[in-house]
Amino acid sequence: MYVILTSKPGQFRTELVEGVRAVEAYDYLFGGTAKARFVIAELERATKIRVIDEVEPPVLNLVPTKFLPSYETIEAARQELDHLTAFGSVRAALRQVPVPGPVPANA
Asked whether residue 55 is domain-assigned, the answer is yes
What per-residue confidence (pLDDT) applies to 103? 64
Instruction: Identify which of 4, 80, 3, 68 has the alpha carbon closest to the alpha carbon of residue 37.
Output: 4
Asked whether residue 102 is domain-assigned, the answer is no
CB 29 within 8 A of CB 94: yes
Asked whether residue 57 is domain-assigned, the answer is yes
What per-residue confidence (pLDDT) applies to 88? 64
Instruction: Identify which of 86, 92, 103, 89 has the alpha carbon closest to the alpha carbon of residue 5.
Output: 103
CA angle 91, 98, 44 (to 5 degrees): 110
Asked whether residue 104 is domain-assigned, the answer is no
What per-residue confidence (pLDDT) applies to 93? 87
- C-alpha distances in Å from residue 39, one per residue of 6, 73, 74, 94: 7, 14, 11, 11
**pLDDT, one tens digit for every residue, the chain (107 residues):** 999 999 999 999 999 999 999 999 999 998 888 999 999 999 999 999 999 999 888 899 999 999 999 999 999 999 999 887 776 666 688 999 999 876 665 55
- Tally of structural domains, the chain: 1
What sign for the dihedral angle of Cα 12, 60, 98, 43? negative
What per-residue confidence (pLDDT) applies to 16? 92
What per-residue confidence (pLDDT) applies to 57? 87
What per-residue confidence (pLDDT) applies to 101? 77
Distance between terminal CA atoms of the chain? 22
What per-residue confidence (pLDDT) applies to 48? 96
Asked whether residue 90 is domain-assigned, the answer is yes
Give the structural domain span for 26.
Answer: 2-97
